[in-house]
Amino acid sequence: MSKKEHKEEKEKQDAPLAEKESDTAAYSSAVLDGSTDEESGDLKAKLDELNDKYLRLYSDFDNYRRRTLKDIVDIRKNASEDLVVKLLPVLDDFERAVKAFGSTENAEALKEGIILIFNKFITVMSSQGLEQMKTVGEPFDTDFHEAITNIPAQDEKMKNKVMDEIEKGYLLNGKVVRYAKVVVGL
């Protein structure tokens, strides 16, 4: 929020307070006109006390509101969604490494280790609410898929369906965090 917007917001919030103070002053002068000096002194003291309590309560509430808004902003900044989005390329690299080890025959132990790490990583991510989208053979849906290219479908059943997946899409607790990049059949 810019300084100008913050100042305008503060003026909007303080407007009801200024109206209350002017109403209170008008009421107090009307009450004081019809009373004795001793009563007017007591009423004025009472009015000042109540006005002070009102201002303190208003200030406390305003401070509470500001703290709450700041806490919400901090929580949003540090939410796990950012972490998951940053870890997705690592997940893709692990997947590519697993595919590359398929062609290597002399490194079976290394291959098994990488597969175990990959499976553990998938399990941890799944426990945080991350799930892979199923795409190949599914109808093309712009809510979940990003079409990279279109190719002619060999079968009438594959028209407007995902033929191939270039990059996997992911959901975090049911919300799309990365769209699947796919090839669609025409």
Express each pLDDT in 106-126 by its tens digit.
667 677 778 888 888 888 888
Domain boundary among 94, 110, 128: 128
Tell whether the model's pLDDT for residue 60 goes beyond 90: yes
Question: 65 and 17 share a domain?
Answer: yes
* Sheet bearing 180-185, strands edge to edge: 145-151, 180-185, 162-167
Question: 8 and 69 share a domain?
Answer: yes
Strand partners, 167: 181
Structure confidence at residue 144 as a pLDDT band (50, 70, 90): very high
- Percentage of the chain lying above the pLDDT 70 cut: 76
Question: 87 and 68 share a domain?
Answer: no
Answer whether 0.85 is exceeded by the pTM.
no
Tell whether the model's pLDDT for residue 55 goes beyond 90: yes
CB atoms within 10 A of CB 162: 23
In 3D space, the residue among 158, 106, 116 whose CA is nearest the CA of residue 136 turns out to be: 158
Phi, psi values for residue 92, rounded to 5°: -65, -40
Question: 35 and 51 share a domain?
Answer: yes
Residue-number span of the structural domain to which 68 is assigned = 3-77
Q: What is the mean pLDDT of residues 1-14?
A: 63
Confirm if 168 and 92 have CB atoms less than 8 A apart.
Answer: yes
Question: 173 and 186 share a domain?
Answer: yes
Confirm if 43 and 32 have CB atoms less than 8 A apart.
Answer: yes
Structure confidence at residue 13 as a pLDDT band (50, 70, 90): low
Tell whether the model's pLDDT for residue 166 goes beyond 80: yes
Question: 107 and 167 share a domain?
Answer: no
Q: What is the mean pLDDT of residues 17-43?
A: 62
Question: 20 and 70 share a domain?
Answer: yes
Residue 142 sits in a domain of what CATH number?
Answer: 2.30.22.10
Confirm if 107 and 101 have CB atoms less than 8 A apart.
Answer: yes
Tell whether the model's pLDDT for residue 19 goes beyond 60: no
Output the pLDDT for position 114.
80
Domain count, the chain: 3
Tell whether the model's pLDDT for residue 49 goes beyond 90: yes
Question: Mind giving me the DSSP string for 118-130?
Answer: HHHHHHHHHHTTE
Question: 50 and 31 share a domain?
Answer: yes
Question: 142 and 154 share a domain?
Answer: yes
In 3D space, the residue among 11, 14, 9, 17 whose CA is nearest the CA of residue 69 turns out to be: 9
